[in-house]
Amino acid sequence: MASNPRDAAGGGAAAVLLLSGGLDSYTAGAIAVAEGFHLHALTVRYGQRHARELDAARAVAAALRVARHIEIAVDLAAFGGSSLTADVPVPKDRPIDAAEIPSTYVPARNTVFLSLALAWAEVLGAHDIFIGVNALDYSGYPDCRPEYVEAFERLASLATARGVQGERFRIHAPLQHLTKADIIRRGLSLGLDYSLTHSCYDPAADGPCGHCDSCLLRAAGFAQLGIADPAVAETSSKDC
């Protein structure tokens, strides 16, 4: 395996981005690019309720001009246990309490995703993985907390050949301590087109539901900045 591969065009070190097609992973990827990394994007088809976020991931990968975009299937719906992977209603219009773990939590999802990203990073000879988790404006998922990210980074050095040989893996969570408004502001400063993204947990045929946790957090972020969400505006224009 080649150590620390470089982009022949830009000279940046390789990194793996976990890309869902949502606002957060797009912003995390753009931050990685701004920091000089050459991205390889990984999207996981985990048995989620809808495929719209996969279409968004492809659009975002193209916008970020990643070196390669891999989609891999790991059917967590076989286990169920979440309203995102089973026939269970998605919570709507609820007060979001980060101390409460909602039914949209998918058991061990980020551990599975980061493990796959780590496997690819080791093959690439890359030492950096980017993930768009957040611990401020979020739904209370235990695998989004800073202590979880730090623990996985330690695990990466114990569980890999490169780690045992003294190389260090870094799990970058650049949005960890930002509010949703801060994330959007940062993305806009990087020139991102958020109309490409999809965040809704339970979209209808005509667009986002507007009532799930993800929709509410996203809407609040744009509202705090006093600007319209381009993804919602684009959906509305299609209805006209």
Instruction: Give the pLDDT of residue 8.
Output: 34
Are 25 and 60 in contact by the 8 Å Cβ rule? The answer is yes
Instruction: Give the pLDDT of residue 11.
Output: 53
Instruction: Give the pLDDT of residue 204.
Output: 87
Instruction: Give the pLDDT of residue 235.
Output: 55
Map out the domains of the chain as residue ranges.
14-179
Are 16 and 72 in contact by the 8 Å Cβ rule? The answer is no
Among 136, 151, 132, residue whose Cα is nearest residue 17: 132
Could you say which residues of the chain have pLDDT below 70? 1-11, 233-240
Among 72, 27, 7, residue whose Cα is nearest residue 172: 27
For the segment 164-193, what is each residue's pLDDT rounded down to a tens digit?
A: 999 999 999 999 999 999 999 999 999 999
- pTM, two decimals, is 0.92
Nearest-angstrom CA–CA distance, 102 and 111: 18
Are 109 and 77 in contact by the 8 Å Cβ rule? The answer is no
For the segment 75-97, what is each residue's pLDDT rounded down to a tens digit?
A: 999 999 999 999 999 999 999 88
Instruction: Give the pLDDT of residue 99.
Output: 82
Instruction: Give the pLDDT of residue 78.
Output: 96
Q: Which CATH architecture has domain 14-179?
A: 3-Layer(aba) Sandwich (3.40)
At 15, phi and psi to the nearest 5?
-145, 155
